[in-house]
Amino acid sequence: MTLAWFLIRRVLTGIVVLWAVASGTFFLFFARPVQTVAHQLAGRTATPAVIQNVINQLGLNQPIMTQYWHFLGRLLHGNLGYSFFTQESVNTMIKQDLPPTASLVVGGVILWLIAGLGVGILSATRARSLFDRGSTVLVLIGLSMPVFVVGELLIVAVFVPLNQHGLTWIQTQYAGPSQGLGAWSGHMLLPWISLAVVQAAIYTRLMRGQLLTTLGEDYIRTARAKGLSERRVIFTHGVRAALTPVVSQLGIDIGQLLGGVVVIEVVFGLQGLGQVAVAAIYQDDLPVIIGFVLVAAAFVVVANIVVDLVYTVLDPRVRIA
Partner 1 sequence: MALLEVEDLTVSFPTADGVVKAVRGVSFRVEPGQTLGIVGESGSGKTVLTQTLIGLTPGADINGKAVFDGTDLLQLSEAQLRRIRGARISVIFQDPLTSLHPLYRVGWQIAEMVRAHEASASRKEARDRAVDLLGRVGIPRPEQRVHDYPHQFSGGMRQRAMIAMALALAPKMIIADEPTTALDATVQAQILDLLLQLQEESDTALIMITHDLGVVADIADDVMVMYAGRAAEKGTKHQIFYESHHPYTKGLLESIPNSSVAADRLRPIPGQPPSLINLPAGCKFHPRCGYVLDRCVCAEPELVRIDAVADHGSACWLPAEAAGVGASAEKLREQAVREGRRGAAVEVAEAIAASPEVA
Map the footprint of partner 1 across residues 242-261, applying CB under 8 A: 244
Nearer to partner 1, 5 or 219 (CB): 219
Nearer to partner 1, 153 or 314 (CB): 314
Contact indicator for 304, 11 with CB cutoff of 8 Å: no
- Work out which of 89, 96, 315, 320 binds partner 1, going by CB under 8 A: 315
Number of amino acids touching partner 1 (CB under 8 A): 22
User: Which of the stretches 14-22, 138-146, 187-195, 218-226 binds partner 1 when contact is defined by CB under 8 A?
Assistant: 218-226
Q: Taking CA 148 as the corner, what is the angle to CA 197 and CA 24, rounded to the nearest 5 degrees?
A: 100
Secondary structure (3-state) at 173 = coil
- Work out which of 13, 92, 144, 222 binds partner 1, going by CB under 8 A: 222
Map the footprint of partner 1 across residues 295-314, applying CB under 8 A: 314
Q: How far is the CB of 230 from partner 1 (least distance, A)?
A: 8
Q: How far is the CB of 160 from partner 1 (least distance, A)?
A: 48
Q: How far apart (Å, rounded) are the C-alpha atoms in residues 304 and 255?
A: 8
Q: How far apart (Å, rounded) are the C-alpha atoms in residues 186 and 191?
A: 10
CA–CA distance from 30 to each of 21, 35, 119, 296, 321 (Å)?
A: 15, 11, 49, 21, 38
Q: How far apart (Å, rounded) are the C-alpha atoms in residues 147 and 192?
A: 11
- Work out which of 75, 200, 201, 241 binds partner 1, going by CB under 8 A: 241
Contact indicator for 127, 211 with CB cutoff of 8 Å: no
Q: How far is the CB of 168 from partner 1 (least distance, A)?
A: 48
- Work out which of 178, 218, 231, 321 binds partner 1, going by CB under 8 A: 218
Q: Where are the alpha helices (DSSP H) in the chain?
A: 2-29, 34-42, 48-58, 64-76, 90-125, 130-143, 147-154, 160-164, 181-215, 218-225, 230-232, 240-255, 258-268, 273-283, 286-314
Binding pattern to partner 1, positions 188-217, x when CB under 8 A? -----------------------------x
Q: How far is the CB of 58 from partner 1 (least distance, A)?
A: 57
Q: How far apart (Å, rounded) are the C-alpha atoms in residues 33 and 299?
A: 30
229 binds partner 1 per the rule CB under 8 A: yes
Nearer to partner 1, 70 or 221 (CB): 221
Task: Write out the residues near partner 1 by the rule CB under 8 A.
Answer: 217-219, 221-230, 232, 237, 240-241, 244, 314-317
